[in-house]
Amino acid sequence: MNKYVNGKLMKLTATEVEQLKAQNETYDAGKGERASKEIRNHRDQLLQATDWQALSDNTMAEAMTTYRQALRDVPDQDGFPFDVVWPTKP
């Protein structure tokens, strides 16, 4: 592996290679957590877009109730967070 120092291509030292490998392992280990957070944020945005239908002075259609419940159930899917099936908005 190489790096640029003052515009010159230099080989990484053994220590630098090990540090880079450790950084990559740490990053890869957090992949699931990052994906989970991203999916939950998207799910929350979809729920917020329909919150007005859940107000006390509004009767929510059964299809919308089912849709909102399916959104809340997204984290319980078997493939979560890497293989998510999004419900279709009615």
1 DSSP assignment:
-
Query: Is there a domain that residue 88 lies in?
Result: no
Query: Is there a domain that residue 13 lies in?
Result: yes
> In total, how many domains does the chain have?
1
Query: Is there a domain that residue 54 lies in?
Result: yes
Identify residue 42 by its one-letter amino acid code. H
pLDDT tens for 26-77 read 877 778 899 999 999 999 999 999 999 888 787 889 999 999 999 999 999 9
Model confidence, pTM:
0.69
Q: How far is CA 47 from the centre of its chain?
A: 16
Query: Is there a domain that residue 72 lies in?
Result: yes
Which SS3 state, helix, strand or coil, does residue 86 take? coil
Query: Is there a domain that residue 84 lies in?
Result: no
pLDDT of residue 9: 94
Query: Is there a domain that residue 86 lies in?
Result: no
Domain residue limits at 67: 2-76
Query: Is there a domain that residue 85 lies in?
Result: no
